[in-house]
């Protein structure tokens, strides 16, 4: 724990807060800890919509069941 705290430029007590899920810890500290653990590359997947199966299912459920297309008016001038 001391090594990770040192590499993340934070304190051991802040690491304990992270472990407890304390919402008061800033995202920058989380990033520094992820970097210290070699896990920063995985951060880009956190908000990746293609990996959010629940969100995709909810979005799909909100789509209309039927789509009514407007037809263009027929031309009355035939030559």
**Residue 59 is assigned to a structural domain of this protein:** no
DSSP string, 6-73: HHTTS-HHHHHHHHHT-TTS-HHHHHHHHHHTT-GGGGGGTT-GGG-HHHHHHHHHHS-S---PPPPP
**Residue 72 is assigned to a structural domain of this protein:** no
| Mean pLDDT along residues 31-35 | 93
Q: Quick one: pLDDT band at residue 79, thresholds 50, 70, 90?
A: low
**Residue 74 is assigned to a structural domain of this protein:** no
**Residue 35 is assigned to a structural domain of this protein:** yes
**Residue 61 is assigned to a structural domain of this protein:** no
Tens of pLDDT, residues 38-73: 998 888 877 788 888 888 888 888 888 888 888 877
Tokens of 51: 């990996």
Q: What is the pLDDT of residue 64?
A: 85
**Residue 30 is assigned to a structural domain of this protein:** yes
pTM over 0.95: no
Q: What is the pLDDT of residue 53?
A: 87
Q: Which domain holds residue 5?
A: 1-43
Domain count, the chain: 1
């Amino acid at each position: 724990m001391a090594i990770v705290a040192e590499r993340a430029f934070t304190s051991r007590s802040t690491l304990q807060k992270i472990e407890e899920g304390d919402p008061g810890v800033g995202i920058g500290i989380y990033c520094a800890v992820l970097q210290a653990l070699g896990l920063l590359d995985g951060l880009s997947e956190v908000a990746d919509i293609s990996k959010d199966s629940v969100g995709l299912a909810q979005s799909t459920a909100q789509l209309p069941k039927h789509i009514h297309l407007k037809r263009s008016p027929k031309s009355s001038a035939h030559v």
